[in-house]
Amino acid sequence: MIVSCRKTAPKVADVEVSETYVKDNYTKKEVDITMRDGIKLHTTVYSPKDTSKEYPIIMQRTPYSSQPYGAGNFKEKIAPNIHMMQDGYIVVYQDVRGRWLSEGHYENMRAYNPNKTSEKDIDESSDTYDTIDWLVNNVENNNGNVGIWGISYPGFYSTYAVVDAHPALKAASPQASIADFFFDDFHHNGAYLLSYFRATSLFGTPRPDGDKPIDTAWYVLPELPTEDQYQFFLDEGPLKNLDRFFEYETTDTPRMAKEGVTDDYFWNELKEHPNYDEMWQSKGLIQHLKNVKPTVATMVVAGEFDAEDLYGPLETYKNIEKYNADNYNTLVFGPWDHGGWARRKGQNTVGNYYFGDGISEFFQEHIETKFFDHFLKGNGDKNSGLPEAYVFDTGRKDWKTYDTWPPAGVVKKDMYLSADQELTFEPKAVEEVKFISDIKKPVPYSEDIKTVFTPRKYMTDDQRFAARRGDVLVFETEVMENDMTLAGDILAKLKVATTGTAADWIVKIIDVHPADEPAYEGMQDHLKMSNYHLMVRSEVLRGRFRNSFANPEPFVPNQKTDVTIKLQDVFHTIKKGHKLQVQVQSTWFPLIDLNPQTYVDNIFKADESDFKTQTHTVFTDSSIEFSVLE
């Protein structure tokens, strides 16, 4: 039987606008704003046609283009959401330095420069400051207050804006914000996310014609000659065999002659910097959030099932909170994939899993709009009417509000990976559980046969297909007699061994639904909610980085070794009648690349002969530390 099982949604406005609303109600002006070092950044300003009053400025800085270009070409929708578009804001979009129609040279995750001694010393913070300074002094009918928002990479620039912030910047909302490419998007705890392979050229293709501004895409995404991504990457073998996808010989860009270097500077960075060295560390933004000015209110937004940027927003919120105790800093943590809160679909699903109706619409109307209105149009005090944490329980499927995140009342509880596939609150006799990690048959991360630009859906995928493999260890509770609410991070404290000298370790937290759970409309035909294995959280650690991300080290064969993996925050209730399950495995393909399972200095340069099948062991004094709300 299939039922809709829709929860009653909070009341939201039924808003529709015409395709020409922006053109009918806004004037558009494109300007090139000069930065302190003389570089000009292309900027588009949408101003309300009603000039009888003043408006705050809301801006977004992006590497993805402020298109459409040209005076008569308008975006169909502007501003963070439809309500703000209708309520009256001056909306600004800017191509960041070195992208599209902006001058200068682009640096992927440009490092912050805290010691600027001349006008030649620039970074994204100074570019934002100079842009805001020009806007408040040159755009008519602005009220002197500026806000900034952005999702994903634009979220990174939103975070950057609060570092050395301009006095006019009153509100910033980093959403799904990148914080560090060694932990977001292209890496997770040192493991390379092969699933992002096709996105590489987007960030690493040099602009043609001497890096001049350009209004059309100059990069080409690699096209794989198959829809079976798993088989393609398995057949390709070592990562170095993929270099050919990043050789961009053109008339004005001859091939680089240096052996082993491609034309894609981001692919070269990935290859030449496999460890968390000075290059990656310098690009990280988290460590620069210790002195955020109290004049800037921040609202960090994260999707609980965001496959791309989960580390970034959570660490952004936590570090602003830790080091800036008097600031207005809040968190919204909802049941979305990457950027799902910005869409208006009515029914809120991630992959095959349904969470309710009107959730994104509620966020836009009652949280996001309220935040910006208060700090850009209202008195801007701390009494915004919003809580410290607006979080969605993805098990109970409802919103909760808290004065802190994680909430008061959370306690740490260990559960043990015991023998006979049991997950227990008390440790039992220490035994060895072994499995063979066959590099010719790695564990897939999804049942789907497709080629993706970036992964999303797998975050809520039914994991029973993995539970039934011999190279995936399963540990499970009995049917829960009471609800158990997980609220905060999860720490997997594994004790392992391997016959080789290298291994990856993957831990997945699963909510096993009861047999009588009804199916939802819109699920893939081969699935049922009966016994659905919902992946609540998952994470990988490349084992060489178990003690240091900067200084990798091999395993000693057959030696019992501690491997600790931090899984990002969750807010999920394992309900009475469900079971809590933990899966442990060593491959997750092609979400992450294959570990050779013999230690090499740089996996990007490993040879075919380095890849070996190994036997791994998990000891039953391994445990999972949950944050449990009591």
Give the SS3 label for residue 244. helix
pLDDT reading at 10 higher than 90 = no
Using one digit for the tens of pLDDT, what is the confidence trace for 275-293? 999 999 999 999 999 999 9
133-139 mean pLDDT: 98
What is the pTM (predicted TM-score) of this model? 0.95
pLDDT reading at 254 higher than 50 = no
pLDDT reading at 602 higher than 50 = yes
CA distances from 485 to 350, 415, 417, 495, 538 (A): 20, 14, 20, 26, 17
16-45 mean pLDDT: 96
Provide the pLDDT for residue 545.
Answer: 98
Using one digit for the tens of pLDDT, what is the confidence trace for 338-389? 999 999 999 999 999 999 999 999 999 999 999 999 999 999 999 999 999 9
pLDDT bucket at 20, cuts 50 / 70 / 90? very high
Using one digit for the tens of pLDDT, what is the confidence trace for 267-276? 999 999 999 9
Provide the pLDDT for residue 9.
Answer: 46
pLDDT bucket at 246, cuts 50 / 70 / 90? very high
Sign of CA dihedral 249, 253, 257, 260: negative
Q: Are 96 and 124 in contact, with CB atoms under 8 Å apart?
A: yes
213-222 mean pLDDT: 94
Fold match between domain 21-180+284-402 and domain 187-281: no
pLDDT reading at 46 higher than 70 = yes
pLDDT bucket at 14, cuts 50 / 70 / 90? low
Report the percentage of the chain scoring pLDDT > 90.
93
213-240 mean pLDDT: 95
Nearest CA to 535 out of 600, 464, 622, 626 is that of 464
Provide the pLDDT for residue 248.
Answer: 82
Write down the domain spans for the chain.
21-180+284-402, 187-281, 410-629
Using one digit for the tens of pLDDT, what is the confidence trace for 416-425? 999 999 999 9
Using one digit for the tens of pLDDT, what is the confidence trace for 555-600? 999 999 999 999 999 999 999 999 999 999 999 999 999 999 999 9
Give the SS3 label for residue 82. helix
Sign of CA dihedral 443, 447, 449, 452: negative
Provide the β-strand partners of residue 253.
none
Helix axes 153-161, 124-138, angle to 10 degrees: 70
Provide the pLDDT for residue 255.
Answer: 46
Using one digit for the tens of pLDDT, what is the confidence trace for 71-101? 999 999 999 999 999 999 999 999 999 999 9
Provide the β-strand partners of residue 509.
537, 582
50-64 mean pLDDT: 98
Q: Residue with structure tokens 């409309």?
A: 521
pLDDT reading at 527 higher than 70 = yes
**CATH code for the part of the protein at 21-180+284-402:** 3.40.50.1820
Give the SS3 label for residue 312. helix
Provide the pLDDT for residue 24.
Answer: 97
CATH match for 410-629 among 2.60.120.260, 3.40.50.11610, 1.10.260.40, 3.30.360.10:
2.60.120.260
Provide the pLDDT for residue 608.
Answer: 98
Between CA 247 and CA 567 the distance in angstroms is 36
241-249 mean pLDDT: 88
pLDDT reading at 146 higher than 60 = yes
What mean pLDDT is reported for the chain?
A: 95
Give the SS3 label for residue 432. strand
pLDDT bucket at 5, cuts 50 / 70 / 90? very low
Provide the pLDDT for residue 251.
Answer: 43
486-510 mean pLDDT: 98
CATH architecture of the domain covering 187-281? Orthogonal Bundle (1.10)
Between CA 223 and CA 453 the distance in angstroms is 10
DSSP string, 46-68: EEES--SS-EEEEEEEESS--PP
